[in-house]
Amino acid sequence: MLHSADSINLEFLNGVLIPARVLSSVSHADVALIQLDQLPKNLQVAPLGNSDTALIGDDIFIIGAPYA
């Protein structure tokens, strides 16, 4: 069964609920791009690396597994 949504609520670890819009999704990959209506207070954003500077042997971390 296929499900889709235009808007959702995200619940953070501290219990705060933030409304968000679904900008795009790929159901067979189980992945979506969402936009929060606001940022929670004291949010700590994870910095993204630059793949152009990655070297063989560098530690990497993958977040999510849409095809698992």
Domain ranges of the chain: 1-38
Residue type, 26: V
This model's pTM is above 0.75: no
pLDDT at 46: 79
Tell me how far apart the alpha carbons of residues 34 and 10 are, in angstroms, rounded to a whole number: 10
Give the mean model confidence (pLDDT) for residues 26-40: 85
Range 23-29 contact pairs with CB under 8 angstroms and sequence separation of 24 or more? 26/66, 27/2, 27/3, 29/66, 29/67
**pLDDT grade for 66, boundaries at 50, 70 and 90:** low
**Mean pLDDT rounded to a whole number for the chain:** 82
Q: Is the pLDDT of residue 62 over 90?
A: no
Please state whether 57 falls in left (phi above 0), alpha (psi between -120 and 50) or beta: left
